[in-house]
Amino acid sequence: MSVLASPGPVQGGVRGRTGARPLLRPWLPRKVAPYLFVLPFIALFVAFSVYPMLFTLRLSFTDWRGSGAAQWVGWDNYAYLLGNEMFWGSLGNSALLWLMIVPVQVVLSLLIAVLLNNAKIRMRSFYRIAFLVPFVTPLVAVAQIWVVVFDQNYGAVNGLLNILGLPDVGWLTTTAFAKPTLALLFLWKTTGFIVIILLSGLQSIDASVYEAAAIDGASRARQLRSITVPLVRRTLMFSVVLQTLAVFQMFAEPFVVTDGGPYNSTTTAGLHLYEHITRGDLGTGAANSFLLVVVVMGLSLVFVRLLRTED
Amino acid sequence: MTTHTERPAAPAPTRPAATWSAQIRPATTRTLPATLGSQAFLLLLALAFLAPVAWALISAFKPATQIISDPLGLDLTALTLDNYRRMFVDVPIGQGFLNTAVVLVVKGAITLFCAPLAAYAFAKYRFPGRDLLFGTVLITLMLPTIVLIIPLLLEMKALGWVNTYQALILPGAVDAFAIFWMRQVIADVPDELLDAARVDGAGEFGIFTRIVLPVIRPALAGLAVLTVMNIYNDFVWPVVAASSERMAALQVVLSTLAQNITGNRVGADYATVTGELLAAASIALVPLLIVFIALQRHFINGILAGSVKG
């Protein structure tokens, strides 16, 4: 194979000072190669990501409703949204879901990852599989399972509560419980993935650091606070940013499980965006998506900064 | 792809500490109760993570009326295949599987070829326009996917691609996350390795196929599993772009069934539809579970190899 791929006879022995430059001109010049390598990706990326993105940006300054001529309306769509209760309500719902999900998930995932990183724990590969099972199962399937399991009248969860002598709870039908039930679905579905990401950070810490700390008499909790958390800060930051993006873009979960109800209590930012589109109000929908990008970018920058400055 | 590289890959970080640590560690008796507690905590949590899926898989074999009248009970003598039988009659799930399989093979191949190749260029070459291009990739990572749906749908209509395999395959074939992740991984491949191959007369593409790909194989395996999952589980775009019965992907078939329940279109048939739904959901998630359990070592190691290091 190596013979086939060689462009010609290799002139051994005559190497440059650094020994890192080829003396022969390969069939693909080094200056041209990267362009060829990115070409397939660029073609797809421009056609199906950049072009639609620019189209949406232009759309956000028009009143286009899907047919006919588009009227340029300047910043009207943005102004309308910034003064609109539903828009702020959807952002508020997403923010509340973020509060219910991300802090819990970070703590829980770190705890699980630290335990799974401990060689004394048995059945570690079983746990790694178990925690990842929800992550690999199709969302539409598990969302449906959620609908059935949390059903107010026939659901397994209320069945369990009844056995314990507790009354039925309207998990998906009351404004008080719909958000936490949705948050639970999201936590259950994605925590395994965050555990694996954190585990990768933990495994890059040299074991000798802990041994030195143990010799100095540092307790497990102390080691976690003083060694683990600071050393996996970048991995933690990556997870928080990743999940912030995911929570604020959350769409399929409320779409399948609650359809935004009851009383819009689970209309997330992502779902609200979709509602403009189904109403045919494409200009407003486009403006809404760019406002959402600004929010998400802003939040990401805040977390990056928060988690960096303590170094 | 060769099974081994001519050159040794970067040596794995050795941990000499491990050999003598056993002598220094405090006696295990002191940490035993703590380990037991952790063990119990992990076990309970793992069972909670498995419970909903296990419940669905088992309930699908219960008579439909029992699923709702006694969701937690299990009458072994009453187990039945009725839900599956009815589901196969009512739901075009075979066609859904076929469509998903076609998309999976073609789209997966495109992703696994184009993403590492482009990422290699981003990680290991300096060329004008590189940073601008990569910056654009990062921005699309932040853009909600739903945003692109309308313009993409209009694009599909203009191309006459609505309800075709092209529409399911090409948009999103090389997603921003794959590029971002692979670039991270390839950046860690030592430059000396690539330069040495260059000295030996390897061409730029040869370096990619014979050095880079073998070295990053663990992460590549991770990307493969993640890609299969994403394509198999994708739902929003297939619903919009190809929802005709002939072109509907598996998840679309499933969601159509589901909307009968959430939309209250079933009335007295609630139990029947729930039974069919659990059967369909089970059959949709079992192939992926099998793939995942068979390949979990590669997947987990791939992510471990490819993530941002602490």
**What is the tens place of the pLDDT at every residue in B255-303?**
887 766 655 555 547 788 888 888 998 998 888 888 888 887 777 777 7
Q: Do B141 and A245 touch (CB under 8 A)?
A: yes
Mean pLDDT comparison of A209-213, A260-264, A294-298, B209-213, highest-scoring range: B209-213
User: What's B210's DSSP letter?
Assistant: I
Q: What is the pLDDT along chain B (310 residues), one digit of tens a residue?
A: 434 433 444 444 444 444 444 444 444 444 556 688 888 999 999 999 999 899 889 989 999 888 877 777 788 888 889 899 988 888 888 999 999 999 999 999 999 999 999 999 999 999 998 999 998 888 777 777 777 887 888 899 889 998 999 999 999 888 888 898 888 889 888 899 998 988 888 888 999 999 999 988 888 888 888 898 889 988 888 988 888 888 889 888 888 877 666 555 555 477 888 888 889 989 988 888 888 888 877 777 777 765 544 3
Kindly report whether the global pTM for this prediction surpasses the value 0.90: no
Asked whether residue A88 is domain-assigned, the answer is: yes
pLDDT for res A252? 84
- Cβ-based neighbour number of residue A14 at 10 Å: 6
| For chain A, percent of residues with pLDDT exceeding 90 | 26
- Can you give the residue range of the structural domain that contains A295? 77-308
pLDDT for res B31? 53
pLDDT for res A279? 84
Asked whether residue A241 is domain-assigned, the answer is: yes
Q: How many CA atoms lie within 13 A of A221 on its CB side?
A: 1
Asked whether residue A205 is domain-assigned, the answer is: yes
Give which of B32, B120, B213, B308 to mutate to test A binding, by max A Cβ within 10 Å. Answer: B308
Indicate whether A20 pLDDT > 50. Answer: no
Q: Quick check: B239 contacting A, CB < 8 Å?
A: no
| Rounded Cα–Cα distance for residues B45 and B33 (Å) | 18
- Cβ-based neighbour number of residue B214 at 10 Å: 17
pLDDT for res A81? 93
Under a CB-based contact definition with an 8 Å cutoff, are residues A235 and A209 in contact? no
Residues of B in contact with A163 (CB under 8 A): 72
Asked whether residue A30 is domain-assigned, the answer is: no
Mean pLDDT comparison of A92-106, A292-306, B239-253, highest-scoring range: A92-106
Which chain B residue lies closest to A148 (C-alpha atoms)? B274
Q: Do B144 and A286 touch (CB under 8 A)?
A: no
| Rounded Cα–Cα distance for residues A20 and B181 (Å) | 28
Distance from CA of A111 to the nearest CA of B (A): 10
Domain B86-306, CATH among 1.10.3720.10, 3.40.50.2300, 1.10.730.10, 3.40.50.620:
1.10.3720.10
Section A258-273 average pLDDT: 85
The average confidence (pLDDT) of chain A is: 83
| Rounded Cα–Cα distance for residues A200 and B75 (Å) | 44
Asked whether residue A90 is domain-assigned, the answer is: yes
Residues of A in contact with B235 (CB under 8 A): 138-140, 252
Q: Quick check: B138 contacting A, CB < 8 Å?
A: no
| Rounded Cα–Cα distance for residues A91 and A273 (Å) | 11
Under a CB-based contact definition with an 8 Å cutoff, are residues A57 and A280 in contact? no
Asked whether residue A108 is domain-assigned, the answer is: yes
Residues of A in contact with B236 (CB under 8 A): 251-252
Between A8 and B36, name the one with better pLDDT: B36
Indicate whether A212 pLDDT > 70. Answer: yes
- Picking from B140, B158, B141, B139, the residue whose alpha carbon sits closest to that of residue B150 is B158
ipTM greater than 0.95 = no
99-158 of A, contacting B, C-beta below 8 A? 112, 115-116, 118, 120-122, 125-134, 136-149, 151, 153-156
Residues of B in contact with A10 (CB under 8 A): 200-201
SS3 at position B309: coil
Residue B12 C-alpha from the chain's centroid: 27
pLDDT for res A186? 95
pLDDT for res A6? 40
Instruction: List the CATH number of the domain containing A95.
Output: 1.10.3720.10
Section A172-181 average pLDDT: 89
In the beta sheet, which residues pair with residue A72? A62
pLDDT for res B28? 46
Q: Quick check: A26 contacting B, CB < 8 Å?
A: yes
Tokens of A251: 């769409």
Cβ contacts of A75 within 8 Å, gap of 6 or more: A61
pLDDT for res B4? 42
| Rounded Cα–Cα distance for residues B224 and B220 (Å) | 6
Distance from CA of A113 to the nearest CA of B (A): 10
SS3 at position B126: coil
Asked whether residue A32 is domain-assigned, the answer is: no
Distance from CA of A235 to the nearest CA of B (A): 5
| Rounded Cα–Cα distance for residues B163 and B160 (Å) | 9
Would you place residue A221 in the very low, low, confident or very high pLDDT band (cuts 50, 70, 90)? confident
Under a CB-based contact definition with an 8 Å cutoff, are residues B134 and B186 in contact? no
Asked whether residue A63 is domain-assigned, the answer is: no
**Domain count for chain A:** 1
What radius of gyration, in Å, describes the C-alpha atoms of chain B? 25
Q: Please state, in angstroms and as integers, the Cα–Cα distance from residue B280 to each residue in B93, B247, B254, B273, following that order.
A: 8, 18, 7, 10
